[in-house]
Amino acid sequence: MGGGHQFLRAFWKQAEAGGLKVENNRISRTTRACLFNSFNFDAHRLERLKRNSVLYVHRVDGPIDVYRGRDEGVDRGIRAVNQRFADKTIFQSRYSLEKHLELGLEFRNPVVIMNAADPEIFQTQGRVEFSRKRKTRLIASSWSDNVNKGAPVYQWLDEHLDWDRYEMTFVGRSPVTFKNIRMIPAVDSYRMAELFRDHDIYITASKNDPCSNSLIEALTCGLPAIHLQSGGHPEIVKKAGAGFEAAEQIPEALNKIVNDYESFQSRISVPSIQQTTEEYLKVLELLS
């Protein structure tokens, strides 16, 4: 399941727990607000259903063309939809908002609200206890084999990491076959959470990723993170990890975290689904 879908399901569940009625792909006579996501919806249907009494809020990530590494006009299309329908816009990171503005793409009444993980799935309870008396367990994940997801960095680690000190698991899809890194095919969210809790440090090397749900989920499970200094990673991790510009810097970053692991772990600070839902409902003007 994609990260956006996973977040929206958690948001839906939280909104219903707060007494709101949430409907999918329809606008009824009692609808007060409509949240539509990126370009993953039927614009023609939305046009037919549009009513002046409903507040329309557009959830945007990206820029997608920057993230994919090729200009296919996706972001200009999203901006056109935004201008056509939206009263307000939710960006998932400050990076995402500022990068769109840098590209000359302005959106209606933008605010930034970071994603949150589903606490019924992603949590610290039951996680493995960190110990310097064993190998430190590293984990990375990607559901896409796009090279911008970080395969060259993981390949460098596979060839250069000190495997007497570390072991590493990669979950998902990769264009590279590893010799030392254990590979696991894509798994569901419950299994992914278990794997996070069985490891010590999360590594992400994806480029221009606006708001990595996998990174948020790993942090929520108690893993400090090593991240490429790109996209929304720095504002998600904050002081709960270390950034790198090149793969050769990762061993030093690992040493830093292992030597002060408890301190890095204590600085993990990601929004809860309750906090994020409340912020969404304020934008949607649905808080009583």
pLDDT tens-digit profile, the chain (288 residues)? 456 778 888 899 999 998 998 888 788 888 999 999 888 778 888 888 888 999 999 999 989 888 787 888 889 999 999 999 999 999 999 999 999 999 999 999 999 999 999 999 999 999 999 999 999 999 999 988 888 889 999 999 999 999 999 999 999 999 999 999 999 999 999 999 999 999 999 999 999 999 999 999 999 999 999 999 999 999 999 999 999 999 999 999 999 999 999 999 999 999 999 999 999 999 999 986
| Domain interval for residue 60 | 3-116+272-283
Do the domain assignments include residue 126? no
CATH (domain of 42): 3.40.50.2000
* Residue 219 CB partners (closer than 8 Å, separation 6+): 202, 225, 236, 237, 240, 268, 270
pLDDT value for 288: 61
From the number of C-beta atoms within 10 Å of its C-beta (0-12, 13-18, 19+), residue 14 rates as buried
Asked whether residue 45 is domain-assigned, the answer is yes
Are 181 and 237 in a shared domain?
Answer: yes
pLDDT score for 71: 82
**Residue 90 sits in the same domain as residue 185:** no
**Same structural domain, 259 and 143:** yes
Task: Identify whether 207 is part of a domain.
Answer: yes
Q: Domain for residue 124, yes or no?
A: no
pLDDT at residue number 54? 94
Question: Are 4 and 38 contacting, i.e. CB atoms less than 8 angstroms apart?
Answer: yes
If asked whether residues 198 and 101 sit together in one domain, one would say: no
Q: What is the pLDDT of residue 250?
A: 98
Number of domains in the chain: 2
Q: Indicate whether 122 belongs to any domain.
A: no
Same domain? 172 vs 103: no
What's the CA gap between 87 and 190, in Å, rounded? 36
Residues 187 and 89 occupy one common structural domain: no
The pLDDT of residue 3 is 63
Question: Based on the domain organization, do 144 and 220 belong to the same domain?
Answer: yes
In a domain, 131, yes or no: no
Residue 84 lies in a domain: yes
Exposed/middle/buried for residue 179 (C-beta within 10 Å: 0-12, 13-18, 19+): exposed
pLDDT of amino acid 38: 86
165 and 220 housed in the same domain:
yes
* C-beta separation of 126 from 186 below 8 A: no
Q: Are 239 and 172 in the same domain?
A: yes
124 is written with which tokens? 């610290």
Question: What pLDDT was estimated at residue 1?
Answer: 46
In a domain, 129, yes or no: no
Q: Are residues 172 and 210 in the same domain?
A: yes
Tell whether 189 and 98 lie within a shared domain. Answer: no
Q: Are residues 70 and 189 in the same domain?
A: no
Contact by Cβ (8 Å): 103, 75? yes
Can you read off the two tokens belonging to residue 216? 């948020």
- Helix, strand, coil percentages (3-state) for the chain, rounded to 5, are 40, 15, 45
pLDDT at 67: 78
Report how far residue 148's alpha carbon sits from residue 132's, in angstroms, rounded to the nearest whole number: 32
Nearest to 220 by CA among 258, 272, 263: 272
